[in-house]
Structure formats: C-alpha cells, structure tokens
C-alpha cells in the first residue's frame, strides 16, 4: 500500500487529491496548520478516529515555514509520494504579505526537497510541486507551453518561480523524482471564497435569493483558462506514475474574461445582464429575469467596480497548451467551463437556500456573546 503526504490538504486541491488517493488505495497523510478555529471542513468527511485500527487518513500539525517540523513528519511517514500543495495562494494578498509568501511558497518547497535529501529518501520519495500559470505573468506568447519564458507579476508568482527552479535543480543535482505541474486556474464548489469564480457564484446565488444587492469586482477584462479541480488532481497523480520525472502544463486550452464568467453565472439563474460604462464606472444591470423562482427587477444594478480589487501588476491573458500532458500522460479535462459553472452555481444555491431557510426561521447564527 502506497503512502502519500499532502501539504495543503485542507485546501481545495488537497481535499480532492486526498479523496482520489484514498480511492486508489493509498494511505494518506496530510499537514494541517494549527488554527484558533476548525480549518478542516473540506476533509472532515475523510476523517478517521485515530483509535481505529488500519487508519488510512491521518493529519499532522505542521507548517511550511518550519523545517524541523517538516523533516520530522517526512521521517515519520516515509512517504512514497509527496504532493506539495501548501501555499499562501492568493495573488492579490501576496502584495500585502510578500515576505511571508516568499518564505512559505518559495522556501517551503526547498525545505521539503532538502528534508527528503537529508533523510536519504531520494530513491524512495517522489515529489509533486504545485507550480502555476502565474509564472508566465506578462504575456510573452499564447498559448503558453512548457517552453514559454516566465515573467511573474506578483510576489506570489516570484515565490513560485523560485519553487519551480529549485525543484528542477534538485531533480538534476540529486537525481530526485521531482515534477512541476504548471497548472492553470482550476475551480470547484470547494474553491476559496475570495477567488474570483467563487466570489461570483456565491454572489450570484445570494443576489438571486434576495440575500445581497451588489457584487463588487476588480478587473473584468482579465482572461483566464479555467478548468475543474477534480480533473486537475488526476493529472498531479499521473505525473508521479511515470518512469521519468518531468514538468507539465495542465490547462483546458480555452480562455474567458471575468466579465463573461459573470454573464454565464447569472445566466444559470435565468438572469440576462447588460454591461455599460468604462473602467471603474462599468456596471452590469438586469435586462431580464426569466426564472420565476428568482425575482430581480429589470434595471437593477448587480455588478459594480471596486478599485480595491485591482492589482498593482496584473496578468492579463492566460491560455494553456496541454499537448505534452495529453500525449505523455493521456490526460484531458473532463469538464467544460459551462459544466464547472453549473457545478459551482448549484452548490452555492444549495448552500444559501439552506442559510436563508435558517435565517427566515430565526436560527441562522450562533451568537457566543449572548
């Protein structure tokens, strides 16, 4: 039975990957951070009581900024595969916390590689590094391939650039099985609430249900190659099942603006939008509401721009060419963008219908101060 260690197991990808590996018969170990509130919502359904026999899912307290802790966990677990998914993963927030982001996203990767090397596990342990299309940054070439030059545009992108190259370097210097998956944006109902897709699907559901009036966004012109996280974790696993370590782009090959994502999300609840105005004056108003379950009057402004969400330097256009991955790993995305949006919208509608039901019945919040 293979053993996997996942950093970032409490995040979107960590949760889907843990499910996939358990299905494949792995024992899964994950690193979670100590937090003053529970932070394991996404993997609670996988939890096993540590008092049971033959535990196949185990969480360890740890942090990518703590080399001693990482080394101890790796020594204890002796993993066949490490998936380094842990990161401060929000591009805009990385401008506010650049040093922390460099430490966790950049040096965190070094700590994992160095622990494996010092523990003498280079022959045994394969490593997956969560690299990103943010490495491409300023557009040099479209679509982007494994050979497109990097030009990151945020402290997050720069930290991930270090992580990318240190992974390549350890592979070449110490003959380690270490791979970079250069993953383009991937989303799901488990996506963090402050990433743009989830922010849009949550707000659309809440506006449709009469729980929110306005969705405030930043740059509507940004174009992203959005896939489904469920498909992308499969590609991570495939990379570590090959005879030789390598780096791969994982993408759908189609790109969409943030504005069009908004139009599609509102379309899901039968609401047709019209965008007017330019720059920070741009707004979206309701032209028609065709679903009798939702009652948003024509002419209601539902989207406005808030410059707070603009980034000091932006990545304008991402579109990936995953030909290498298709040819070598026989991988292709299974979900279209419309299917992804349906999945996310349905999940958020369910979530907020439940919240509205509780709120209308006066049972919505637990107030600890009463």
Residues that bind ligand GDR (CB under 6 A): 89, 91-92, 132-134, 184-185, 194-196, 199, 217-219, 222, 224, 258, 309, 311, 314-315
CA distance 105 to 146: 20
Q: Is 327 a catalytic residue?
A: no
Do 143 and 108 form a contact (C-beta atoms < 8 A)? no
Least distance between ligand NDP and beta carbon 66 (Å): 8
**Coil, strand or helix: which one is 59?**
strand
For 286-351, the DSSP string reads EEEE--TT----TT-EEEEE-GGG--SS---B--B--HHHHHHH-------HHHHHHHHHHHHHHH
- Among positions 70, 85, 115, 158, the unique one binding ligand NDP when judged by CB under 6 A: 85
Least distance between ligand GDR and beta carbon 139 (Å): 12
Burial (0-12, 13-18, 19+ Cβ within 10 Å), 114: middle
Least distance between ligand NDP and beta carbon 367 (Å): 25
Element (H, E) at 235: helix 229-239
Residue with Cβ nearer ligand NDP (206 or 225): 225
CA distance 13 to 100: 21
Set 101, 132, 204, 255: catalytic member: 132
- Among positions 2, 92, 98, 192, the unique one binding ligand NDP when judged by CB under 6 A: 192
Element (H, E) at 98: helix 98-101
Least distance between ligand NDP and beta carbon 157 (Å): 10
Q: Is 308 a catalytic residue?
A: no
Which range of residues in 31-39, 117-125, 200-208, 267-275 is near ligand NDP by CB under 6 A? 31-39
For 2-54, the DSSP string reads -EEEEETTTSHHHHHHHHHHHHTT-EEEEEE---SS---GGGGGG---TTSSS
> HSE of 229 in the Cβ direction (CA atoms, 13 Å)?
22
Q: Which does 28 bind (CB under 5 to 8 A by kind): ligand NDP, ligand GDR, none?
A: none
Residue with Cβ nearer ligand NDP (10 or 125): 10
11 binds ligand NDP (CB under 6 A): yes
Q: Is 156 a catalytic residue?
A: yes
Least distance between ligand GDR and beta carbon 189 (Å): 15
Q: Tell me the residue nearest to ligand GDR as measured from the CB.
A: 222
137 binds ligand NDP (CB under 6 A): no
337 binds ligand NDP (CB under 6 A): no
88 binds ligand NDP (CB under 6 A): yes
Residue whose entry in the numeric block shows the structure tokens 């900024």:
65
Set 16, 27, 109, 134: catalytic member: 134
Q: Which does 65 bind (CB under 5 to 8 A by kind): ligand NDP, ligand GDR, none?
A: ligand NDP
| Per-residue exposure over 29-42, b if at least 16 CB sit within 10 Å of its own CB, e if not | bbbbeeeeeeeeeb
> HSE of 153 in the Cβ direction (CA atoms, 13 Å)?
17
Q: Which does 127 bind (CB under 5 to 8 A by kind): ligand NDP, ligand GDR, none?
A: none
Q: In the numeric block, which tokens belong to residue 69?
A: 């802790």
157 binds ligand NDP (CB under 6 A): no
Residue with Cβ nearer ligand NDP (17 or 345): 17
Contact footprint for ligand NDP (CB under 6 A): 7-8, 10-14, 31, 33, 35, 39, 63-65, 85-89, 104, 130, 132, 183, 185-186, 192
Report, as residue numbers or ranges, the catalytic residues: 132, 134, 156
């Amino acid at each position: 039975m293979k053993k996997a260690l996942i950093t970032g197991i409490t995040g979107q990808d960590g949760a889907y990957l843990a499910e996939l590996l358990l299905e494949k018969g792995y024992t899964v170990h994950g690193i979670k951070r100590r937090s003053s509130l529970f932070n394991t919502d996404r993997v609670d359904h996988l939890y096993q009581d540590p008092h049971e026999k033959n535990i196949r899912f185990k969480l360890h307290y740890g942090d990518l900024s703590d080399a001693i802790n990482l080394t101890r966990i790796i020594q204890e677990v002796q993993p066949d595969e490490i998936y380094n998914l842990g990161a401060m993963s929000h591009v805009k927030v990385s401008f506010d916390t650049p040093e922390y982001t460099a430490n966790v996203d950049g040096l965190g990767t070094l700590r994992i590689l160095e622990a494996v090397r010092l523990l003498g596990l280079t022959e045994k342990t394969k490593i997956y590094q969560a690299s990103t299309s943010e490495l491409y940054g300023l557009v040099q070439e479209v679509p982007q391939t494994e050979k497109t030059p990097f030009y990151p545009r945020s402290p997050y992108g720069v930290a991930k650039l270090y992580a990318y190259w240190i992974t390549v370097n350890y592979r070449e210097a110490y003959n380690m099985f270490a791979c970079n998956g250069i993953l383009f944006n991937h989303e799901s109902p488990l996506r963090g609430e402050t990433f743009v897709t989830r922010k849009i699907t949550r707000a659309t559901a809440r506006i449709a249900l009469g729980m929110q009036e306005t969705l405030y966004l930043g740059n509507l012109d940004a174009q992203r190659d959005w896939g489904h996280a469920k498909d992308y974790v499969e590609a991570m696993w495939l990379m570590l099942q090959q005879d030789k370590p390598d780096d791969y782009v994982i993408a759908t090959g189609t790109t969409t603006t943030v504005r069009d994502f908004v139009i599609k999300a509102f379309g899901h609840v039968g609401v047709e939008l019209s965008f007017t105005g330019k720059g920070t004056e741009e707004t979206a108003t309701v032209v028609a509401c065709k679903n009798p379950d939702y009652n948003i009057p024509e002419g209601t402004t539902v989207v406005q721009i808030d410059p707070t969400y603009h980034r000091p330097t932006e990545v304008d256009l991402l579109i990936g060419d995953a030909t290498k991955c298709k040819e070598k790993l026989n991988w292709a995305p299974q979900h279209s963008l419309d299917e992804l949006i349906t999945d996310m919208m349905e999940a958020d509608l369910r979530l907020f219908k439940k919240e509205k039901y509780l709120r209308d019945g006066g049972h919505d919040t637990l107030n600890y101060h009463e």
